[in-house]
Amino acid sequence: MTTKGHEGSWVTIDVGYVDPQRRSCALCGRPLARRIWRENVEGHMREFCEPAHVALYRDYWLPLYGAGAATASSEPRLPT
């Protein structure tokens, strides 16, 4: 998948067996395993399953529901 034109970056988190992190894509809600796309959208750092979902978050989600109604990990925990 392309990352061209995106300001964010891929982040790899540890898989914790004692304290498993359960995170999901801010657009689609898909649970995220280790690789997470992090990008600042309108002043908020969001986590996505793929860069393409950043565009949909902007073009589809925000106009329809607004930033206050984030589907998923509205304020993500920072990677450990």
Partner 1 sequence: MTSTQSNPIDPVTLTVIDNFLTSTCRDMGVTMMKTSYSPIFNESLDFSCVIFDPDGQMLAQAEFCPSQIGTVKFTVTWTLDELGLDGFEPGDVVVHDDPYRGSGHVPEHMMLKPVFYNGKIFAFVANVAHMSEPGAKTPGGLSGDATEVFQEGLLLPPVKIRSRGKDVPDIWKIILANHRTPKVTYGDFRAMLASLDLAEARIIELLDTYGEELVREASRQLMTISERRMRAEIAAIPNGVYSFEDAIEDDGIGTRDFPMRLRLSVRDDDIIADFTGSAPQAIGPVNAIYAVTASAVYNAFLHLTDPTIPRNEGCYRPFTIIAPPGTIVNCSFPAPVAGGNTETSPRITDMVFGALQQAIPDRVVASCGGTSSPFLFGGTDPRTGDLYAHFHFEGVGWGGRKGADGNDMVVTINGNCRNTPVEVFETRYPAFLIDSYRLLADSGGPGQWRGGLGGERVLTVQNEVTVSALLNRMKTDPWGVLGGDAGSRGGLWFRPDANSEWRTFVDAFGTRSPSKFSGITLESGNQVRIVMPGGGGYGSPADRDPALISQDIENGFVSIERAERDYGFQAGMGER
CB 47 within 8 A of CB 36: yes
Nearest Cα neighbor of 24 from 80, 70, 56 is 70
Q: Where are the alpha helices (DSSP H) in the chain?
A: 52-56, 62-65
Indicate whether 36 belongs to the interface with Zn ion (CB under 5 A). Answer: no
Q: How far is the CB of 40 from partner 1 (least distance, A)?
A: 21
For 40, phi then psi, to 5°, come to -80, 120
Which position among 11, 13, 28, 62 is part of the footprint of Zn ion (CB under 5 A)? Answer: 28
Q: How far is the CB of 16 from Zn ion (least distance, A)?
A: 22
Indicate whether 49 belongs to the interface with Zn ion (CB under 5 A). Answer: yes
Interaction site with partner 1 (CB under 8 A):
15, 17, 22, 24, 27-31, 33-35, 53, 56, 60-61, 65, 71-73
